[in-house]
Structure 1
């Protein structure tokens, strides 16, 4: 999840459109994010009609996120807040990231479109993305909303964690390292569960 959240902030941080010191990541993840051996609390009976925050203030990905924000943003990420929530859906992640910055929505979208122009799997959209858009794929959908008068930038991103999860990223990287087309075996992924 952390790599997905970082992914949607990279260009904004690099272009100094947002400040690195006050970022809030509110992520919603499907049950499959816990893996097959998720243990208690991840079954249908526990998660249906329920929304469960977890990893408060100490999520395993916090050090990785803080390091990336500081490196790319060129400043402290000490104010980072990352709260993932388990939602009653099988697959998918939607991350909403709140940051301080004077950029406009158009500036954020333009920066993202330039940054991801050659990306085979990232789609920058004018509308806020939905988890269903990415279902069964290796695609990432990103969008932004900004209000410079309020010093507020919102980045939104969606992936199917069973498609664009660790396995999909590993195949994509292996393709690049082996000189294969980046998209090899990643288009038209089967959907299960």
Structure 2
């Protein structure tokens, strides 16, 4: 029997991406879809590219009968998931795609998101959802917190290097370019075509971007001491994709060897040949991450690159990968899409 799935917040980009992925999954069936402003509409009217699928109509969360739901994806805006998940039945497993449970310490959540955590008891059971590094914990979890898409990209470039001690932990710069879909589907003036196209801009200036909370948490945990990276994201006029260029002090050979060893056998992590850099074009629409290492002209300095699709591996694909672990399915089920090119 297939597992019944609910998607809360299905009218957003990550919700639509979940539907796209689950449609190709042999063991999952979408039983309920929720929306706020678009409640009462069909998914075909909200996302015409899904009109060929037999999907339930969008309803409000309170209209869903969770009695027959095995797992719920929560694709709601930040600062709303905590209260919603707290009211779900305890036998429903949950994957939250927002930032509401990513930071283990509620004080860190308040620091980065500007308000007290609304469900600190739930936070204690939440597992950080970076699949390749938390598989056993995710498989056993009731609540999994999906990572930030920027945070995931930077971590794929750096986690093995920090763990192996092959780079200087006090000299790390993450320069990241992110596509516009990472900002969500809500109308925002700065995301209008006339204001975004034909240029790109930095945002989260001076170390204010919230994904720094995840970098601080995860990198310090790996190193066993405080690690603070310099991080500057940029918004680019593209629909999908993230490219991180990470500047480190360390031997390019040691960096490349460490990454290749760490990701050997991983189904979605691919380390490029030495000296090659990835492109977002080559991972678009897929759950694949490309990682590369290139020597700088200065001895002992290396640039590490990581590219992924923010809506797939950075969010909804990661969520489905985690759901597969939680429900006992093949981790790759529903995720073996070949990237779209061009």
TM-based fold match above 0.5: yes
Is 2:185 aligned against 1:36? Answer: yes
Partners of 1:174 and 1:19 lie apart in 2 by 35
* 1:16 corresponding residue in structure 2: 165
> For residues 139-154 of structure 1, what are the structure 2 equivalents within 5 Å?
139-146=288-295, 150-154=299-303
Asked if the contact 2:152–2:314 (Cα under 8 Å) also holds between the matched residues in 1, the reply is no
Is 2:335 aligned against 1:176? Answer: no
Shifted more, 32-41 versus 124-133: the winner is 32-41
User: Displacement, 1:179?
Assistant: 1.4
Partners of 2:254 and 2:198 lie apart in 1 by 38
Check 1:27–1:149 CA distance in 2 against 1; reply closer, same or farther (3 A cut): closer
User: CA offsets per residue over residues 89-130 of structure 1, 9 Å max, x none?
Assistant: 1110000111222x2x23222211111112110110021001
User: CA offsets per residue over residues 64-101 of structure 1, 9 Å max, x none?
Assistant: 101212221333323x2111000111110000111222
Q: Secondary structure at the match of 2:313?
A: coil
Gaps of 5+ in 1: none
Asked if the contact 1:22–1:99 (Cα under 8 Å) also holds between the matched residues in 2, the reply is yes
Check 1:67–1:132 CA distance in 2 against 1; reply closer, same or farther (3 A cut): same
Partners of 2:208 and 2:294 lie apart in 1 by 28
Match of 1:51 among 191, 200, 204: 200
Partners of 2:224 and 2:336 lie apart in 1 by 36
* 2:255 corresponding residue in structure 1: 108
Name the TM-score, length of structure 2 as normaliser.
0.52
Name the TM-score, length of structure 1 as normaliser.
0.90
Match of 2:217 among 57, 60, 67: 67
Check 1:190–1:139 CA distance in 2 against 1; reply closer, same or farther (3 A cut): closer
Cα RMSD after superposing both structures = 1.9
Higher relative contact order (CA 8 A, sep 6+): 1
Q: Secondary structure at the match of 1:5?
A: helix
Asked if the contact 1:20–1:76 (Cα under 8 Å) also holds between the matched residues in 2, the reply is no
Gaps of 5+ in 2: 1-149
